[in-house]
Structure 1
Amino acid sequence: MGFKDDCTRAVRDIVKVDFNTRWGREVPTTDSIVQKDGAVWLTAAYLYADMADSTGMAENFESADAAKIIRAYLSAVTRVLKDRGGEIRSFDGDRVMAIFPGDDAADKAVDAGLRVNWVVDNIVHDELLSNNSYYQKYVETGWRVRHRTGVDLGTAFIVRAGVRGDNDLVSVGSTPNVAAKLSDYKGRGPTAITDYVYENLSYGNQYAKDSQSGDDEIKSMWSAANFVDIGGTWESVRTSTWWRSYT
């Protein structure tokens, strides 16, 4: 059988076979979804963390130094996401995606996002200063490793896509799509969430004491909701400059 016939048969089988669908409470793996017809509905928070200004990095650094920056960023961010209960399901260049299941999914994802803010500024950047090339560019141009994080909450349809031996999970639906687009949103502050995420947050992830004010005044951690065109869909979005530290 030639390539054309083989490819045609494979696509025809995909189109004609109905999904064997179930609802899940845990983030599925490739082992838990049958490639032929398996599918899982999952309600969860999706978080995308994306290193900002990759173009500037490519222009400023040799390949080996750029690779160290990306590896340092992804290593630190991935550790945060896993530490806060996220299941890593995708890497794309300098971007990583995690899924947070459960009734407290919004709180876990937002807490992770706020901790990513601190880790990137206080661990990744500080440790990269020991790299001579990074240090020189930081002093000369002010370029430093930065990031953006997008979070949305909702239901996704998860399937396996690809071919035998070369396949992975794919999350279909507006929730993962919006979260991915928010990681590119250039709002005020590195963390962007939909208003639906905000509505599902506990008080401690909506308001906090502002220690910098000198009087420990309780303040909102988030901007007012603003309608934004996110990839052709209007979403009510909030952003934050706040961070949460590790001790």
Structure 2
Amino acid sequence: MTLKTDLETECAKIFSSPWEKTDGTVVPNTEDLKLSNHGRNLDVAVLYADLADSTVMVDSCGADFAAEVYKTFLYCAARIIRSNGGEITAYDGDRVMAVFVGDRKCSNAARTALEIKWVVKNIVQVKMDAVYTTKKFIVKHVCGIDTTKVLVARTGIRGTNDLVWVGRSANYAAKLSALPHSVSTYVTAEVYKKLDDQSKLSSGTDMWTMYKWTEFDGRIIYGSNYTWAIA
């Protein structure tokens, strides 16, 4: 079988095969799903945490320094995600994607974002400045969060495959994390409505400001520059 014939056969098979889908409440492992049209429906909150100005950082500060910022940012973000019950689904260069499930998924995702903000300011930046005393680089990032049902499917070829998360929340969270870093955390209105008081209020004051998502379709979103200290 030639490569062309193989590709034609597989594409025809994927487009014509019915889907076998089940509803789930926990994040599946890759091995839980088949490479055929087999998927899992999950109600999730998706978080993207994305470094800002990484291209400028690489060009102006060099690869070694940029790699250290990538590593510290992603390490801290990943640890915080795990500590709040999230599951890391992908690393993509200078950003990480995570999903949260359960009744408190939106609040847990929001807390994660606020903790990442605190850690970037009080740990990553401080430790970086202590070593690079002559550099004046400020680490900036943006977190984006949305919540919807998604379809989890396994994609790729045998020997190299992974899960994909298909649904609005994965796309919107990624788009939100690409917004200007003047605000460090953005959530959709659907996430905001599901936040508990701890994730919404600070000493009785709403931590979130309403914005219009002018870069997209003008819908209402909420942003915050508050932080959540970790012990």
TM-score in same-fold range (> 0.5): yes
The TM-score range, normalised by the shorter chain, is: over 0.9
**1:188–1:239 CA contact under 8 A, matched in 2:** no
**Greater than 2 Å deviation, 4+ residue runs:** 232-235
Q: What is the correspondence of 1:119-138 to structure 2 with a 5 Å cutoff?
A: 119-132=119-132, 135-138=133-136
Distance 1:54 1:208 in 2: 31
Give the unaligned 5+ runs of structure 2: none
The residue type equivalent to 1:185 in the other structure is L
Distance 1:120 1:62 in 2: 20
Aligned counterpart for 2:139 among listed residues 138, 145, 160: 145
**1:191–1:239 CA contact under 8 A, matched in 2:** yes
Deviation of 1:126 (Å): 1.1
Q: What is the RMSD computed on CA atoms of the aligned residues?
A: 1.4
Tell me the SS of whatever aligns to 1:48: strand
Q: Please name the residue that 2:77 is paired with.
A: 77
**1:46–1:97 CA contact under 8 A, matched in 2:** yes
Paired residues in the alignment total 231
**1:60–1:137 CA contact under 8 A, matched in 2:** no
Deviation of 1:188 (Å): 4.5
**1:113–1:191 CA contact under 8 A, matched in 2:** yes
Q: Please name the residue that 1:212 is paired with.
A: none
Deviations 1:26-63 (A, max 9, x none): 01121111111210111010000001111221122221
**TM-score normalized with structure 1 length:** 0.89
Query: Closer, same or farther in 2 for the Cα pair 1:168/1:190, shift >3 Å?
Result: same
Among the aligned pairs, what percent are the same residue? Answer: 32
Q: Please name the residue that 1:223 is paired with.
A: 209
2:224 is the alignment partner of 1:240: yes
Q: Please name the residue that 2:201 is paired with.
A: 207
2:154 is the alignment partner of 1:169: no
Deviations 1:124-157 (A, max 9, x none): 111112333xx3221xxxx211110000011111
Q: Please name the residue that 1:185 is paired with.
A: 179
**1:188–1:240 CA contact under 8 A, matched in 2:** no
Distance 1:51 1:188 in 2: 13
Query: Closer, same or farther in 2 for the Cα pair 1:160/1:233, shift >3 Å?
Result: farther
Distance 2:39 2:163 in 1: 10
2:20 is the alignment partner of 1:20: yes
Distance 1:11 1:107 in 2: 40
Deviations 1:82-116 (A, max 9, x none): 11111000111000000000011001100111100
The residue type equivalent to 2:199 in the other structure is N
Give the unaligned 5+ runs of structure 1: 210-217
**1:187–1:239 CA contact under 8 A, matched in 2:** no
The residue type equivalent to 1:32 in the other structure is D
Distance 1:15 1:44 in 2: 26
Deviation of 1:161 (Å): 1.1
